[in-house]
Amino acid sequence: MYLGRRQEEDPIGCYWVWLFTLSKILEFGDTYFILLRKQKLIFLHWYHHATVLLFTWFNTSRSETPGVWFCAMNAAVHTIMYTYYALRALKLPVPRGIMMSITITQILQMVLGLTLCFLVVVRQWLGHPCTFSRAVFRAALLMYLSYFLLFLQFFLRTYKPKPKPVEAEKKPPEKVNGLWKHKTT
């Protein structure tokens, strides 16, 4: 689709990429609600929102080809995620497994982002036309790698089974002069 030509050659596609870029500002709305409800704002949340906004503006302003794919992946995952948040806000019961599935999908998005970065570089190396500058490649690589590690850490902390409480160890009966001391009733 966009591999091999610049976004400005497709004004409709470019329009949607710009709308996507502007939507990153609106995503700070959920940060506002977290703060308003005095909930804990985790590093992953604010780091992700801040850096994805910066990267999206950087990528879009340069009309880099892979940006369309980055946008599509992110929009798909966020559509699912914000639907989940809307259901929760409406106090509708949502199985715990749904949120875990969303987190897994986010991790897969990061793997796909890293894969896309390398596929584009391989295409360029093989001589196929594709606009993907070294600056955007480095930024995308750093962004997707950091997101992958942070989402994986979040997944392990949030969904790792909690260890069962260890029962108090049963002590063997005490020995008195080499014999077992028994309670008398």
The mean pLDDT of 5-26, rounded to a whole number, is 75
- Which residue did the predictor score with more confidence, 108 or 25? 108
**Strand 179-180 to 175-176 pairing:** antiparallel
Query: What 3-state class would DSSP assign to 3?
Result: coil
As a whole number of Å, the CA-based R_g of the chain is 25
What H or E segment, with its residue span, contains residue 82?
helix 67-89
* Catalytic status, residue 48: yes
Residue with tokens 């949607």: 16
CA distances from 155 to 21, 56, 96 (A): 27, 25, 13
Query: What 3-state class would DSSP assign to 58?
Result: helix
**Of the listed 45, 48, 78, 182, which one is catalytic?**
48
Structure confidence at residue 51 as a pLDDT band (50, 70, 90): very high
Query: What 3-state class would DSSP assign to 165?
Result: coil
pLDDT in tens, 110-152: 999 999 989 888 888 888 877 778 888 889 999 999 999 999 9
Structure confidence at residue 2 as a pLDDT band (50, 70, 90): very low
Structure confidence at residue 92 as a pLDDT band (50, 70, 90): very high
Structure confidence at residue 48 as a pLDDT band (50, 70, 90): very high
Largest CA-CA distance found in the chain, in angstroms, rounded: 94
